[in-house]
Amino acid sequence: MKAMHVIRREYVENVRRKSFIVTTFVVPIMLSLFIMLPMMIAMMSPQRVSRVAVVDQTGNIGADFVAALTDTLKNGRPQYVATIVPASGEGYEAARKAQIDAVQRGETDIVLAIPQGIMADEKAAYITREQRNYNVLDRFEKVLSDVVLKKRLAAEGLDYERVKNLTAGVKVEMNQLTAEGHVEKKSFLSEYGVVVIFALLLNTAILSWGATIAKSIVEEKGSRIIEVLLSSLTARDLILGKLVGVGMAGLTQLAIWTLVGLTLTGGALPVVLAQIGPLHVPPIVFLYFVIFFVLGFMLFASLFMIIGAMSSTEQDAQQMQAIATLPMIIPLMSLMLFMQNPNSGVAVGMSLFPPFTPILMLARIILLTPPLWQILLGIGLMLATIYFAVTFSARVFRVGILMHGKRPSLRELIHWYRMAG
């Protein structure tokens, strides 16, 4: 069968391209960076010693605060070097002013001013010239609160540790009952992350490989390779060869991405993600991911094939591709709403609409494992649509591929379809 040669050519040439190697290895790295970077930044503690001047009107809280501020740098040395500036009564404002001037001159970094009324409800002041560093501010606030709280409790004759234990909050864990009757721990945040990652990957893979098909057809058409091809093989062989060859190149890329993903989730990623919540991607999700990639690719590729056959230049093709990608954007945009109730009638209906099925059905599978019949129905509907799309595009392709010049109207497309029949 001659389609075999086309399959081999499409596969080898696509996998050999520089852009393939780049996207295959750069995309997962970018994605992991995208996830890990904020956390890495948050985890990075400042590597500089800060000089703190504590202007203390109370006479004792300042000392307790400095004693409690025991943070160290990575090299084990104290992060803060604090000096207490006692300033009782009217001297407070002047001392405060003097320390602010010291900050101005660069002799100190942070001024923490503790007024007498701190034991009631007066605010302490944190003054610095540096970029707002909320980590330090948070830390100061927490330490100072603890110190003041201890003093207030002591004044009432209460034990700090005891009160702390007695007033500890209660946590409620999120659980979900799966279709199989298992109770699984769930976390909205991590689930949302997983769904978005899978949806974006699926979207990128389907659209970029679909566009690859359109591009290669425009090239063959523009350079008249198509005349040589069609004088040696049938349009059916060519289309089939392209779908399978390019699809396999896409699968190769996904396989690499999956391997990288599994390695990361098996290794470094959970440590980082554990901070958000339990990450749970059942292996079956990867299988569905591949299934929906293949189906989504076939559906959109047959659309992109018509676009390629209709276009005389790559610009022509790109304009039309922008419109053709809309059905992929809509499910992405509705994902957030969709996730709040993935089992509603609208959600089920949308996930069964073939152009939306890859992303939305996959999202539902990750979120709640819908009944098997819904998954199968979605796949069945897609297969039927693909059958019609490929048949239609094969017929339009044969006529359109040899036409040059003006872009055809929809009416002409239908005319081509009839001609080929």
Partner 1 sequence: MQPAVEIQDIVKRYGDTAAVDHVSLNVPAGTIYGFLGPNGAGKTSTIRMLMRILLPDEGRIRVLGEDLGKVNLERIGYLPEERGLYKKMRLLDQLTFFGEIRGLSRREARNRSGAWLERMSLADRAMRPVEDLSKGMQQKVQFIATILNEPELLILDEPFSGLDPVNSNVLKDVILEYHRRGHTIIFSTHQMDTVEKLCDHICLINKGRVLLEGTLSSVKQRYGKNGVSLRFEGDGTFLHSLPEVASFQDNGNEVFLRLKDGVDPGRVLDAARARLSVLRFELAEPSVHDIFIEQVSGDVR
**What residue ranges bind partner 1 (CB under 8 A)?**
2, 5-6, 9, 12-13, 17, 219-220, 223-233, 402
Phi, psi of 387 (to 5 degrees): -55, -50
CB nearer to partner 1: pick between 159 and 219:
219
Nearest distance, CB of residue 411 and partner 1, angstroms: 16
Nearest distance, CB of residue 8 and partner 1, angstroms: 8
CB nearer to partner 1: pick between 122 and 219:
219
CB nearer to partner 1: pick between 45 and 223:
223
CB nearer to partner 1: pick between 58 and 216:
216
Q: Name 260's bridge partners.
A: none
**Helix pair 283-310, 372-400: axis angle to 10 deg:** 20
CB nearer to partner 1: pick between 6 and 136:
6
Instruction: With beta carbons less than 8 A apart as the criterion, state whether 114 and 65 touch.
Output: yes
Q: What is the DSSP letter of 237?
A: H
Nearest distance, CB of residue 106 and partner 1, angstroms: 60
Q: Is 184 helix (H, G, I), strand (E, B) or coil?
A: strand
Nearest distance, CB of residue 216 and partner 1, angstroms: 9
Nearest distance, CB of residue 319 and partner 1, angstroms: 23
CB nearer to partner 1: pick between 230 and 285:
230
Nearest distance, CB of residue 131 and partner 1, angstroms: 49
Nearest distance, CB of residue 312 and partner 1, angstroms: 13
Instruction: With beta carbons less than 8 A apart as the criterion, state whether 412 and 309 touch.
Output: no
Q: Burial letters for 278-314: b for 16+ Cβ neighbours within 10 Å, e otherwise?
A: ebbbeeebbebbebbbbbbbbbbbbbbbbbbbbbeee
Neighbours of 234 (CB within 10 A): 14
Nearest distance, CB of residue 237 and partner 1, angstroms: 8
Nearest distance, CB of residue 5 and partner 1, angstroms: 4
Nearest distance, CB of residue 223 and partner 1, angstroms: 4
CB nearer to partner 1: pick between 229 and 368:
229
Q: Burial letters for 19-52: b for 16+ Cβ neighbours within 10 Å, e otherwise?
A: ebeebbeebbeebbeebbeeeeeeeeeeeeebbb
Instruction: With beta carbons less than 8 A apart as the criterion, state whether 180 and 267 touch.
Output: no
Rg value, the chain, Cα: 32
Phi, psi of 137 (to 5 degrees): -60, -45
Angle, CA 248 vertex, CA 240 and CA 264 arms, to 5°: 160
CB nearer to partner 1: pick between 229 and 307:
229
CB nearer to partner 1: pick between 37 and 402:
402
Instruction: With beta carbons less than 8 A apart as the criterion, state whether 235 and 397 touch.
Output: yes
Instruction: With beta carbons less than 8 A apart as the criterion, state whether 222 and 317 touch.
Output: no
- Parallel, antiparallel, or unpaired: how do β-strands 50-56 and 80-86 relate? parallel
Of the CA atoms within 13 Å of residue 138, those in its CB half-sphere come to 4
CA distance 363 to 96: 57
Alpha-carbon distance values, 377 to 92, 132, 327, 400 (Å):
75, 54, 19, 33
CB nearer to partner 1: pick between 229 and 310:
229
CB nearer to partner 1: pick between 6 and 362:
6
Nearest distance, CB of residue 213 and partner 1, angstroms: 15
